[in-house]
């Protein structure tokens, strides 16, 4: 899990497709789902991470693709805020704060 969380924190541009999967019920499931979506939406990152399921694709850098990633980041930020920080263990709390910071910075940079 630490490896997954570290990968999320390093660079976290998220999905270029609208979110259709149900909201995860635990923060760990949320992190895992977010990471899997990133692999799908950034095939080059997936390859770098050793996942070759998406080697036949490129990231969609069209305006539509960028707009979808922005909407997805906003949705992830909204979903993240639903997890009460007080109920998380220290590692989860740190990961949640880092994810929140990263998502906000990515949205500001667009």
Q: Where are the domains of the chain?
A: 2-11+26-109
* pLDDT tens for each residue of 3-49: 554 444 444 444 344 445 566 789 999 999 999 988 988 899 999 99
Neighbour count for residue 2 (Cβ, 10 Å): 8
Between the alpha carbon of residue 98 and those of residues 28, 87, 95, 105, the distances in Å are 14, 17, 5, 11
The answer to whether the CB of 27 falls within 8 A of the CB of 91 is no
Q: Is the pTM of this model over 0.85?
A: no
The answer to whether the CB of 18 falls within 8 A of the CB of 68 is yes
């Amino acid at each position: 899990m630490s490896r997954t969380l570290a990968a999320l924190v390093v660079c976290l541009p998220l999905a270029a497709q609208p979110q259709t999967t149900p909201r995860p019920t635990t923060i760990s499931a949320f992190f895992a789902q977010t990471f899997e979506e990133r692999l799908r939406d950034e095939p080059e990152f997936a390859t770098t991470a050793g996942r070759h399921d998406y080697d036949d694709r490129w990231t969609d850098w069209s305006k539509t693709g960028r707009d979808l990633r922005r909407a997805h980041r906003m949705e992830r930020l909204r979903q993240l805020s639903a997890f009460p920080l007080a109920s998380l263990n220290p590692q989860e709390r740190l990961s949640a704060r880092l994810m929140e910071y990263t998502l906000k910075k990515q949205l500001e940079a667009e």
